[in-house]
Every structure is written in C-alpha cells, then in structure tokens.
C-alpha cells in the first residue's frame, strides 16, 4: 500500500499483510489477514511512529520515500518491542543513522535483547513531551497492554492517539479508515483481537482507559498498529473496550466438546437443547473441527462455558486439552463452567478438565455429568436436564 496522508502532514506508511493466517505462534488465526501500521509525522522535525515486521521492511522504506528521504527522519517512536512492529527497525535505522529512538525503559531493554544494537535511545515516561515544531508528541506508558514495554503516543494538536496494539484488529483492507469498511466485520475483528490477546489484561486495560479519561485529553482519531483507523467515532471502540474489560456478558453459553465415537457429541447436542429450551443463547463447537480463535471470541460475551470430552487413556482428548490450555491462560474470571463426557471402563477426562481450569477464576456450578459408553434415552434426558440446570445456575 502506498503512503497516504491521514491528517495534514501525517502519513500512514505501514503495510498490509494480506496472506498471514496465523499469528502469535499459531495461537491466533487471522482469517482476514492483518496490517502493520506505521505513521510518519512531518514537521520541523520528522518522526516515524512504529515500524513493521521484518519481511516488509523494504515496503515501509519505499512508503517513507514517497514522503521524505529516510535520512531526514529525526525520531523513531517505538511504542512496542514485539517484532511485528520492530522487525524493520534495523533496516530503517541503517538509512537514518542520526535518528534517535524513543520508548520506555522496558522498550530499550527489549529492543536490545532482540537486535543487539546500541541505537541512540531516549527513554520516556508518561507525560514526557517531544516538540516537533508546530506539533508535539506526548507519551503514556501502558505496561502489559500487552507487553511490559508498551506505550501510547498522543499528538494534542491533532487529538490523535497512536496506541499501537490497543484498539487494533487483524483486518487486511485496502481502506484505511473505519467508515470505509463493513461495520460488522470491523467489530468482529476488534472483538476477536481483544478476546484472544487482551482478555487476561482486563483490569489493566480498565485502569488505563480510566487514567486516560482523567487526563481529559480529547481524542478525535485513534490510529492503531493493526487494521483500520478509528475516525468516525473513536468512542465506539473505547466503549467496547470498557465493556469487555469490565467483563460484561449476556445470557449465553458456549459448549465446546471433543468426541471419539460420538457419545460425547450426543450428550453435547442434548445439553444444547436443554439450554435453548429456557431461552439461553447457545453456541456449540466440536473443537477438533473448529477455529479456536473463533470459539474464544464467542466465549468473551458468554456468561457460561460447558466443556465435554470422551475419556482416552484416563485423560481428555488432545484437541480439547490444547484448547483448555488456552482458556486457562485467558483467565476468564467470573464465568460459570461445567463439564460432561462419556467413558468406557474407567473415567478420567472430567477430572483432568476440572483440574486444568481449577485456578483460572471460573466457578463450577454443577456436578460434572458422565455417561458410560453410549447414552440411553434416560441418560439423554439427563443431559437435557443438565443443560436446563446449568442455564438456571446462571441466573
Ligand atoms: Fe502487534 Fe504485540 O504486537
């Protein structure tokens, strides 16, 4: 994508990664691709805010060249160390050796531990300012949103917030702005991003948004480091983040199971019937056939989760085990959970699932439901009742 002026003398110079389908070590499927956004602010001094992933370094440099010769860059603001935003820094800095890199102390440490280069680095803290000429930049440390080094940059003259990963979306598009894309797809990707990356950090995010609100800085535009820029109504994504960070949920249950010969699947389908019979919104996923990123996204707005597995070698099946490891890491505090599954001669899956999620802030509201071999009519009725009771436990 070519450079584009998003505000007078502020250019989007990042790249669109149309082909990426996995992110963060295959923990996140990016079905709509992504982008690595970088912004060039041209004033008496010139600042580049963030870079892109290393394979796209030349495209970033070419975009910068459309606006200014790279050697004229005075400052590079490194809001975040992660390589999707810093990978191109060695190539860019080779072209602008006089540029000073600005970031938090943790950023300095992290960049050194990635690239082992002694760049001219200035550490900044919250409220520090950098004068560029007519414009200035100020900085807001944002540790653990989502790395210790993370930082937001703010330009008061344009009321522009550059928050790096926060408010981003893995959403490849030829458009640059929120008002140019399908709104459902946009919010779906924003929610997916929050659920799969930021969910465990809700308390930190809530505090940071409240801190920014207390700073009383007007925000007319939010330009994140992934996806499109929020210009039509930046409050829309801020309010969505507030809701997600507060753990706002609705009467919805996500049922996730893995089955060996179909018995646990029969149980899951009857449980869903029970839940739906009392008006609960339900989503059912066979984890072995489903996109884990999509399941996690559906779970963010759900009050309860039910997990099912057949027993195999006194343990749960491997796909549900891998999935529950992700759930454990997300620490879905306050959600109600339950377990079910079939077994042959000895059980084990239910206890393994219970143990795995025993310390992640969830609450098990019903005794786990086990069925030997294949459920008969009475046992299927018991599954239906299990769904009804779980729904009632959500009230
Ligand atoms: Fe988009 Fe935390 O990197």
Q: What is the pLDDT of residues 107-155, one digit of tens each?
A: 999 999 999 999 999 999 999 999 999 999 999 999 999 999 999 999 9
Q: Kindly state whether residues 278 and 202 are assigned to the same domain.
A: no
Atom of ligand 1 nearest to the CA of 36: 1
Instruction: List, in sequence order, every beta strand (DSSP E) within 14-150.
Output: 15-17, 22-23, 28-29, 34-36, 39-42, 46-49, 75-77, 100-103, 121-123, 129-131, 136-141
String of b and e for 286-305 (b: at least 16 CB within 10 Å)?
Answer: bbeebebbbbbbbbbbbbbb
How large is the average pLDDT for residues 96-109? Answer: 97
What total number of domains does the chain contain? 2
Report d(CA 377, CA 373) in Å as an integer: 13
Residue bearing tokens 């001669």 = 345
Per residue in 167-192, is it b (16+ CB within 10 Å) or e — as a string?
bbbbbbbeebbbeebeeeebebbbbb
Mean pLDDT of 350-356: 98
Q: In the block, which residue shows the tokens 């989502």?
A: 146
Answer yes or no: is the C-beta of 85 below 6 A from any ligand 1 atom: yes
Largest separation between any pair of C-alpha atoms in the chain = 78
The verdict on 20 and 112 lying in the same domain is yes
Q: Rounded to 5, what percent of the chain is helix, strand, coil? A: 40, 25, 40
Percent of the chain with pLDDT over 90: 97
Determine contact, residues 28/196, Cβ cutoff 8 Å.
yes
* Residue 316 and residue 168 in one domain: no
State the distance from the centre of ligand 1 to the C-alpha of 293, rounded, in angstroms: 16
Give me ligand 1 centre to Cα 235, in Å. 22
Is the CB of 84 within 6 Å of ligand 1? yes
Under 8 Å between Cβ of 386 and 369: yes
pLDDT the model gives residue 184: 97
- Report the C-alpha gap between 120 and 27 in whole angstroms: 34
Q: Is the pLDDT of residue 22 over 90?
A: yes
CATH code of residue 361: 3.40.50.360
Q: Looking at the structure, tell me whether residues 211 and 279 fall in a common domain.
A: no
Give the residue from 200, 227, 245 where a domain finishes. Answer: 245
117 lies in the same domain as 225:
yes
Q: What integer pLDDT is reported at residue 1 of this predicted model?
A: 79
- pLDDT tens digits for 320-339? 999 999 999 999 999 999 99
Residue 301's DSSP bridge partners are none
How far apart, in whole angstroms, are the C-alpha atoms of residue 12 and residue 6? 6
pLDDT per position as a tens digit, 152-185: 999 999 999 999 999 999 999 999 999 999 999 9
Closest Cα partner for 32 from 169, 146, 171, 150?
171
pLDDT at 226 over 90: yes
Of the candidates 213, 245, 277, which is a domain's last residue? 245
For residue 13, give its domain range. Answer: 4-245
Does the pLDDT at position 343 exceed 90? yes
Residue 225 Cβ contacting ligand 1 at under 6 Å: yes
Nearest-atom index, ligand 1, CA of 147: 2
pLDDT band at 347 (very low <50, low <70, confident <90, very high): very high
| Interval 287-297: pLDDT, tens | 999 999 999 99
Angle (nearest 5°) at CA 46 between 134 and 36: 120
pLDDT at 133: 98
Q: Work out the pLDDT band at 27, boundaries 50, 70, 90.
A: confident
pLDDT band at 58 (very low <50, low <70, confident <90, very high): very high
Mean confidence (pLDDT) of the chain: 97
Last residue of a domain, one of 185, 218, 245: 245
Give residue 25's pLDDT: 84
What's the rounded Cα separation, in Å, for the pair 193 and 190? 5
Residue 249 DSSP code? -
Kindly state whether residues 33 and 127 are assigned to the same domain.
yes
No. of H helices and E strands in the chain?
12, 22
Active site positions, annotated: 24, 80, 82, 84, 146, 165, 193, 226
Closest CA to 121 of 136, 133, 106, 134: 106
Q: How far apart (Å, rounded) are the C-alpha atoms in residues 197 and 223?
A: 18
Measured between alpha carbons, how far is 271 from 259 in angstroms, rounded to an integer? 14
State the distance from the centre of ligand 1 to the C-alpha of 24, rounded, in angstroms. Answer: 9
Residues 332 and 226 in one domain: no
Same domain, 240 and 270: no
Residues 238 and 268 grouped into a single domain? no
Residue 75 contacts residue 100 (beta carbons within 8 Å): yes
Local confidence band at 103 (pLDDT 50, 70, 90 cut-offs) = very high
Q: In ligand 1, which atom is closest to the CA atom of 165? A: 1
Residue closest by Cα to atom 1 of ligand 1 = 165
What is the pLDDT averaged over residues 27-45?
A: 97
Rounded to 5 degrees, φ, ψ at 36 are -115, 105
| 201 and 230 belong to one structural domain | yes
Tokens of 34: 């992504």
- The verdict on the CB of residue 165 being under 6 Å from ligand 1 is yes
359 & 326 share domain: yes
In CATH, what number is assigned to the domain containing residue 94? 3.60.15.10
Position 93 pLDDT exceeds 90: yes
What value does the mean pLDDT take over residues 375-387? 98
pLDDT of amino acid 395: 86
- Check pLDDT > 90 for residue 29: yes
In a shared domain, residues 364 and 389: yes
pLDDT at 26: 84
> In the prediction, which pLDDT does 20 show?
96
């Amino acid at each position: 994508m070519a450079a584009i002026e998003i505000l007078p003398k502020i250019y989007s110079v990042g790249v669109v990664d149309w082909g990426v389908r996995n992110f963060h070590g295959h923990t996140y499927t990016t079905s709509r691709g992504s982008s690595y956004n970088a912004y060039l602010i041209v004033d008496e001094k010139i600042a580049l805010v963030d870079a892109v992933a290393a394979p796209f370094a030349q495209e970033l440099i070419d975009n910068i060249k459309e606006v200014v010769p790279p050697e004229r860059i005075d400052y590079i603001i490194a809001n975040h160390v992660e390589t999707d935003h810093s990978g191109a820094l060695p190539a860019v800095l080779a072209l602008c050796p006089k540029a000073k890199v600005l970031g938090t102390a943790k950023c300095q440490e992290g960049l050194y531990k990635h690239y082992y280069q002694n760049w001219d680095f200035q550490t900044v803290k919250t409220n520090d300012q950098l004068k560029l000429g007519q414009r200035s930049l100020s900085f807001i440390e944002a540790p653990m949103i989502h790395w210790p080094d993370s930082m937001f940059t703010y330009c008061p003259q344009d009321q522009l917030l550059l928050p790096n990963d926060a408010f981003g979306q893995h959403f490849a598009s030829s458009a640059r702005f929120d008002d140019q894309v399908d709104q459902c797809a946009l919010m779906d990707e924003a929610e997916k991003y929050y659920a799969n990356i930021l969910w465990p950090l809700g308390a930190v995010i809530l505090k940071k948004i409240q801190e920014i609100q207390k700073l009383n800085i007007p925000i007319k535009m939010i330009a994140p480091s992934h996806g499109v820029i929020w210009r039509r109504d930046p409050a829309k994504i801020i309010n969505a983040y507030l809701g997600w960070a507060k753990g706002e949920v609705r009467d919805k249950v996500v049922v996730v199971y893995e089955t060996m010969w179909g018995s646990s699947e029969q149980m899951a389908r009857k449980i869903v019937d029970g839940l739906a019979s009392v008006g609960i919104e339900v989503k059912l996923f066979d984890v072995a056939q489903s996109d884990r990123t999509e399941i996690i996204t559906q779970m963010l707005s759900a009050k309860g989760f039910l997990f099912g597995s057949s027993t195999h070698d006194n343990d749960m099946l491997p796909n549900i085990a891998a999935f529950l490891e992700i759930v454990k890491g997300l620490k879905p505090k306050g959600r109600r959970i339950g377990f079910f599954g079939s077994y042959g001669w000895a059980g084990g899956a239910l206890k393994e699932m219970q143990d795995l999620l025993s310390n992640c802030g969830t609450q098990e509201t019903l005794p786990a439901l086990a069925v030997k071999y294949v459920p008969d009519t009475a046992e299927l009725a018991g599954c239906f009742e299990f769904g009804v009771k779980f729904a009632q436990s959500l009230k």
